[in-house]
Amino acid sequence: MKRLILALPLVIAACTTAPAPTPKVQAPKPAPVIIVPPAPVVPADWRDRPYTAGAWHYADRTATYGADGAPALLIMRCDAARRIVTLSVPGAVPAITLRTSYAERAWPAQTSADGRSQISLAASDPALDQIAFSRGRFSLSGPNLTEVDIPAWAEPSRVIEDCRG
């Protein structure tokens, strides 16, 4: 009888069926989290804005500013015979405004044969000194012209000196 009592749980266990397996439910894949950085805040003061992308290049009494492989955003050229410095920007604009740490001044622009707008300044014009000595930068803007914030490096000063010398 002892054997029967000991074997009884085994017999009962053998007669029962295994529980049905529970189906595995996969958790839904989480939606990807897209982090959109906030739009950069453009400082209101032009002196705090980052420089417009590009670099200065100088050759043959001409300084150009712009990105490599792209049309120049600014060309400063010395006409030594006439002692005139010409500043030109892409596109046809009626006026070009020059802003330095000393002053802001606008000139009527003329469209040249190559489709650029230009202003011409006498080599002795004080606006050229303001470009040369502006505190780290100067800026050009105008109607239909995106403002160009340019570092005041040595190349513009060299063009000015070429016309004065």
Q: What is the DSSP string of 18-38?
A: PPPPPPPPPPPPPPPPPP-PP
117 contacts 142 by C-beta, under 8 angstroms: yes
Q: Which of 19-28, 79-88, 112-121, 151-160 has the lowest average pLDDT?
A: 19-28
What is the spatial distance between Cα 112 and Cα 5, in angstroms, rounded to a whole number? 113
Task: Specify which residues 79 forms β-bridges with.
Answer: 84
Q: Which fold has domain 51-164?
A: Immunoglobulin-like (2.60.40)
87 contacts 118 by C-beta, under 8 angstroms: yes
Is the pTM higher than 0.85? no
138 contacts 127 by C-beta, under 8 angstroms: no
Mean pLDDT of the 130-144 span = 92
